[in-house]
Chains A and B, each alone.
Chain A
Amino acid sequence: MSAENTHPATEDYRSQERPTWCPGCGDFGVLSAVHGALSQLGIPPEKIVAISGIGCSSRFPFFLSTYGIHGLHGRTMPITTGVRAAGHGLHVFTVGGDGDAFAIGGGHLLHAARRNLDITYLIMDNSVYGLTKGQASPTSALGYATKTSPRGTTDIPLNPLLLAMVAGASFVGRAFSGRPKELTRMIVEASRHPGFALIDIFSPCPTFNKVNTFKSYRDEVADLPKDHDPSDLMQAMNRAACESPRYLGVLYRVQRPTFLQQLEHLKTGTEADRPRLLEDLFDEMR
């Protein structure tokens, strides 16, 4: 732990708590990518807040030496919004699972994206509910059989990238825990992006998901073509929708006013004006 802000080492972002994940869990790769990205960004740990929901992946903040909130299942976006709006000079990012993000938290995600909330949201997408031991998630493949869907799911999977783009996210990427270098780079890029940056990360759950595995992902993924233009929404949507291959990379990126910029724009005074405002209101309310 260091209070100076000269490029801290990866170690500085690691807590003493040992991850609770199963051996081989994709989330380990995401954790080391985050450690790496934070050290590249060089932000002191005490100036970082990592926010998560509930799930295997949401245990994440406990394995960081930063500040954190391990909140409620599905409610990461509201809590993050509050931290972002009221916390000054902090680097804020959010982590969680696919169930947390798209099922119970789906409603909130849309609004965080619309607001262009100034955060990076790392979704560890294993297409299954890990913590509750293997039920289908909103990104599970059609027909995926689990204990609560013994004859296979009947709902088509949701496409996180398309969803984020439609909702107004200004940075949308896809990464794979099996490609840690690219993932680290994308997290750094997303962290520097002003506005809402969502990265859907294929992060396999070898314990409960026998369909989406490191191997299956490796076979399915491909880098975006060199000429991909991330500012072209239609192209981004086309490539996000593509099932074969499933593209990795920054599919979409635009600049538009962020949540914080707009909040600042609304402010016409400071805390020092409070007493005078109150006296004025007292005068008015006669």
Chain B
Amino acid sequence: MSRRRILEPECLLAMVQKTLQIRMAGESGEGVLSTGELITRAAARAGYRVLTSKTNPAEIKGGHATFQVCLGPVPLLEAKDELDVLVAFNEEAWQKSGPDLRPGGLLIYDSASFQPPQDPERSQYAVPMTGIARDRLKFGLAKNVVAVGVVAALFDLDREVLCELIEQKFSHKGAEVVARNLEALDAGRDYVREVLPQEALFSVEADRRSPTRMLLNGNQALSLGFLAAGCSFFAGYPITPASDVMEFLAVQLPRIGGVLIQAEDEIASLGMVLGASYTGARAMTATSGPGLSLMVEMLGLASMAEIPCVILDVQRAGPSTGLPTRHEQSDLFLAAVGGHGDSQRLVLAPTSVADCFVQAVNAFNLAERYQVPVLVLSDTVLASRMTDFERPDLANLPRWERLEARPTGPDFERYQITESGISPMSLPGTPFGQYVATGLEHNPRGLPRYDAANHAAMSDKRFRKFSKAALEAPEPFRQGDPDSELGLLTWGSTAGAVASALQELERRGVRLEMLAPRMLWPLPDHQVGEFLERKKRVAVVECNRTGQMATLVASRYNHPFGLGRINVYGGAPFRQAELVQKIEEWCQHVR
């Protein structure tokens, strides 16, 4: 308390800005994440657009954890590199996150835990959180809620909303616990009011147009999307960072008569999915890289036997077990072309949390219409990032069905050669529809045949579906100047980083256009080919070392100057400044 620096009015003025980024940092298991979530929810209900990120320690218990929320009046594309406010629960938190706090930013720290040295560049605000919780409230566990109270007072977040959220959060622990947490909330608020006479020290504009917005992370948005798309069967094997999709659906699917099975491994997961889909269910699995590697043979069966299925891969970093909790976009090769033989599968990649919902719906629709496996590539950033989310309009969701056969006589051809490549599929129980789904090459009746003409004709039939599906690719994400000579291609969550880098570059007078296709395989010519044709120079921005999208794009399109490559691969997404700099360097290089 003694070293507390009261915020100067000039400093406060600087805080009246478009977006504001706050980070909570401390020992994991001490409620860093739940504190952050409470604040985020309250902010979202107050009308702020929000975007969060978090780091979990690799250990199950203990270790350094952070939760960060960026808020502002417009939809946010990407987190900022720098913090405006840091709430440090302990010294390690301050040491690790302190360097990210911008000059003029504000440090709120638990003065019962440590004392940072004076910093003339930044405001420091001591709050004895542990002290208040332990000594005054006799409830040490509530120090995080004290912190919530502090932040709430600083931003003038609505007390009623916070009370409601706290009640929601703790009601299962009884009225007593709720009451004590509410007390902690007020203790934090009062503390700020007593030592700082001004209220609403910070003012960030909110967007108050749509109060019905939801707050979701990418895994939740995907889960809801799959449910909305009619998923009724899920089999999976737990793996970070995909498990929470399975955990979510484990609760929801039985409520609608659906089934979730924890399989013995990922081969079994996809096997169960194919079995279920064969009977007509909209079936899926979710995994991460190691699991997808195991599924590859089964993917081949799905494309050969033309059994619809959806596979979510929430990518993590590295080959083998790699870096289970870190970010990378390096499963694209595996998803698109991994496996033996000429096989077909579609690969979709959502570009934001909101897009996770949309692509989950598209994935089922495409899988069912084209009778192919559809892989959805999400990633660690999207998985845990929470953003505000417009409530979907269920009545207007597209619903594409599988083309079902109802034969009226014998000699049904399950794999009938058609112009579209799509053959009507009979479901078990349908008279005269009997056939054997097989991974052996087969004739139109589904019987094993190995002659050259048949294999060629059947391959062509299957690839006709593939090309046709590309024409129905979801709309891509585009930003920037359509007339610019320079273009950037990107995919997945990196699209947000590129889009916000573009905004910064525009401020500096550098004009570019970006394109992030949501369908990555097959590459939709009318999107990617068209973009390449319009641009003099194109670079591909992605989080991997091998340039996987760049390689696939280069394998299909000849661009006179080749493709530039802008990559990071340390296990974290692009930092804004780094990305802006790399793009600028590339622009200078090609000009």
Q: Is the CB of A83 within 8 A of B215?
A: no
- Neighbour of A269 across the interface among B227, B254, B440, CB < 8 A: B254
- Output the nearest chain A residue to B301 by Cβ-Cβ distance: A72
**B20 contacts which chain A residues (CB < 8 A)?**
none
Question: How many Å lie between the Cα of A150 and that of B267 in the bound state?
Answer: 32
Per-residue interface assignment for chain B, residues 413 to 454, with 1 indicating a CB less than 8 Å from any chain A CB and 0 otherwise: 000000000000000111111111111100000011000000
Q: Please tell me if the beta carbons of B271 and A79 are within 8 angstroms of each other in the complex.
A: yes
Find out whether the CB atom of A75 lies under 8 angstroms from the CB atom of B276.
no
Shortest CB–CB separation between residue A168 and chain B, in angstroms?
A: 13
What 1/0 mask marks residues of chain A from 1 to 44 whose CB sits below 8 Å from any chain B CB?
A: 10100000000000001000000000000000000000000001
A123 to B541, alpha carbons, bound, how many Å? 52
Q: Evaluate contact between A282 and B259: CB separation under 8 angstroms.
A: no
Closest-by-CB residue of B relative to A265 is B254
- Chain A 76-89 interface mask (CB, 8 Å, partner B; 1/0): 01111111111111
Task: Confirm or deny: A46 has a beta carbon within 8 angstroms of a beta carbon on chain B.
Answer: yes
Question: Is the C-beta of B129 less than 8 angstroms from some C-beta in chain A?
Answer: no
Bound-complex Cα distance A68 to B23 (A) = 56
Task: Name the A residues within 8 Å of B433 (CB-CB).
Answer: 46, 67
Contacts of A3 in B (CB 8 A): 431-432
Question: How far apart sit A77 and B267, CA to CA, in the bound complex (Å)?
Answer: 11
Contact between A46 and B430, CB atoms less than 8 A apart: yes
CB interface residues, B 514-570, toward A, < 8 Å: none
Whether, in the assembled complex, B228 has its beta carbon less than 8 Å from a beta carbon of chain A, the answer is yes
- B: contact size bracket: 35 or more
Query: Within 8 Å of chain A (Cβ to Cβ): is B97?
Result: no
- Interface contact B434-A286, CB-CB below 8 Å: no
Q: How close is A1's CB to chain B, nearest CB, in angstroms? A: 6
Residues in A neighbouring B364, C-beta threshold 8 A: none
- Do B429 and A89 touch (CB < 8 A)? yes
A277-B261 contact, Cβ under 8 Å, with A72-B298, A78-B268: no
Tell me if A152 counts as interface (CB < 8 A to partner B).
no
Majority secondary structure of chain A interface residues (helix, strand, loop or mixed):
helix
> Which residues from chain B contact A185 at a C-beta distance below 8 Å?
none
B311 to chain A, nearest CB (A): 14
CB of A97 to closest CB in B, whole Å? 16
Contact call A75/B267, Cβ cutoff below 8 A = yes
**Is A279 part of the binding interface, using a Cβ–Cβ cutoff of 8 Å?**
yes
User: Which of A51, A65, A67, A279 neighbours the largest number of chain B CB atoms within 10 Å of its CB?
Assistant: A67
Cα of A267 to Cα of B233 in the assembled complex, Å: 12
Residue B232 lies at the interface, judged by CB distance under 8 Å to chain A: yes
A69 with B436: in contact, given A78-B275, A85-B259 (CB under 8 Å)?
yes
Flag if A82 contacts B436 (CB, 8 Å). Answer: no
Bound Cα distance A45, B256 (Å): 30
Stretch at the interface among B150-158, B278-286, B315-323, B377-385: B278-286
Nearest chain B residue, comparing its CB with the CB of A282: B391
Q: Does A242 contact B (CB under 8 A)?
A: no
Closest CB in chain A relative to B127 CB, distance in Å? 29
With A49-B428, A72-B298, A87-B428 as known contacts, state yes or no: A274 contacts B214, CB within 8 Å: no
26 inter-chain pairs at a CB distance below 8 angstroms, sorted by A residue, are: A1-B434, A46-B430, A46-B433, A47-B429, A49-B278, A49-B428, A68-B437, A71-B301, A75-B267, A78-B268, A79-B274, A82-B271, A82-B272, A83-B275, A83-B276, A83-B278, A85-B272, A86-B280, A87-B279, A111-B264, A267-B258, A271-B232, A279-B394, A285-B215, A286-B41, A286-B214
Using CB atoms and an 8 Å cutoff, list the residues of chain B in contact with chain A. 41, 44-45, 212-216, 220, 224, 227-228, 230, 232-233, 235, 252, 254-259, 261, 263-265, 267-281, 283, 297-298, 301, 305, 389, 391-392, 394, 410, 428-440, 447-448
A residues adjacent to B (C-beta < 8 A): 1, 3, 17, 44-47, 49, 51, 61-62, 65-72, 75, 77-90, 107-108, 110-111, 263, 266-271, 273-275, 277-279, 281-282, 285-286
